Amino acid sequence: MPKNAARRLTRKTALLMTAPRRPASISPSTPRCCRRLLSTLLVLGIAGALTPVQDVFAARRHGKPPTAQGEFTDHLSSYDSSRWLKADGWKNGPPFDNAWLADHITFTEGLMRIRLDDQGALGEPFGSGNYQSTDFYGYGCFETSFKPVASSGVVSSFFTFAGPFDNGGNGLHNEIDIEFLGYDTRFLQANFWTNDDSYAGGNEAIIDLGFDAAQDFHRYGFRWTAGGIEWYVDGSAVYQVFDSPTNPTPKAEESLQKVMMNVWPVDSSASGWAGTFVYPGSALHGHYDWVRHIAGEDCSLAEAPTPPPPPPAGNADEIHTEAIDLSLNNRHTQVIARVAIADGLGQPVADASIDAVWSGIITGGDGHRTTDSDGIATFYSARTNKAGTVSFCVTAVTGGGRTYVPADNVETCDAIDK
């Protein structure tokens, strides 16, 4: 067996546990993920003393819990890897009938799209996407604007989660859910799980929306406090549960949670809950417009977040001079020119070649430079002790097959006195 096989196996199983839970009505009291892990370990001959499920959980629980992250609003116009992770190359097993694949999450026209199709992997017949935060969050409001998939057997979700293989705190399963069951997207399912490794559950509630959620974007969220959970639709409260000794709600002091979104098909074991899934012959998509977290128990979801600014008008295939900045060296004997090149959308352009000329009391110096990763090229003039004016002009720009448009230059020439 390769040296790192056991480590890779443990990591893969840890990733399984970061994915969403299976419905209580169809789940065994012992998580299947752990049974699969133990079976594999026994086959490989490395199970050792980890046979009891409890020992597997204990072995993976972390010590010091993370710090709760602050609030954010993400308009999901692009992939922010500093905050999010695209699940890739693993699966949950029953009742999930898919593998998680990173390329099934895309960003187009200001939206995040999660694609469910028949490009299966890892022995599963279908592929789909799972988007989860890399950090953990505590009490506050969580909300997204999205359109679920309207297809029997498909679950579209927005939820917070921490499980035995997450370093959220106590290492137990804690979760707060918003789910749509695709056979009838006029209804929303709210749910929660508190320190519930056995998936005993029983807290599901079905909410009649009075509209078809798959037809347009609406806001769905919840406010999580020490006293309970309140679910919201379009800024209005629709359902609430209160913490009690007999049925406690999750506690941030015990475990913080990740923010997660996914779309997935159920297998036959869950058809009684979510309907039977029959692939329609073309890909299905869940559409997410934005997601946010407002920290603190006194948060409010009454108002929607401020829309993002419209994208700048322009052509990404055209480039121009965005700025020319001239300065003198310490002895005032040399001029330094910093030239910024941008495309038609205002984004910096790396590896653009710039030709330029010097004039005035200095006519020599760098005549050709290439922009760095920030779209900046630095030119140095020849040296002189003479006093007077030095001028610098860009004469040509080429780069990456783009078209240089001098008429779009913010600056073409600049001058400085020395």
3 state SS for the chain: CCCCHHHHHHHHHHHHHHCCCCCHHHCCCCCHHHHHHHHHHHHHCCCCCCCCHHHHHHHHCCCCCCCCCCCEEECCCCCCCCCEEECCCEECCCCECEEECHHHEEEECCEEEEEEECCCECCECEEECEEEECCCECCEEEEEEEECCCCCCEEEEEEEEECCCCCCECCCCEEEEEEEECCCCCEEEEEEECCCCCCCCCCCEEEECCCCHHHCCEEEEEEEECCEEEEEECCEEEEEEECCCCCCCCCCCCECEEEEEEEEEECHHHHHHHCCCCCCCCCEEEEEEEEEEEECCCCCCCCCCCCCCCCCCCCCCEEEEEEEEEEECCCCCCEEEEEEEEECCCCECCCCEEEEEEEECCCCECCEEECCCCCEEEEEECCCCCCCEEEEEEEEEEECCEEECHHHCCCCEEEEEC
282 burial (CB, 10 Å; 0-12 / 13-18 / 19+) is exposed
**What gap in Å lies between CA 56 and CA 58, rounded to an integer?**
5
Out of 71, 109, 143, 179, the active site residue is 179
**179 catalytic per annotation:** yes
CB of 226 closer than 8 Å to CB of 128 = no
**175 catalytic per annotation:** yes
Please enumerate in sequence order all residues whose Cβ is within 8 A of that of 412, keeping only pairs 6 or more positions apart, or say none. 321, 324, 393, 394, 406
**What gap in Å lies between CA 319 and CA 399, rounded to an integer?**
8
Please enumerate in sequence order all residues whose Cβ is within 8 A of that of 298, keeping only pairs 6 or more positions apart, or say none. none
Out of 175, 204, 297, 411, the active site residue is 175
Which residues are tagged catalytic? Answer: 175, 179
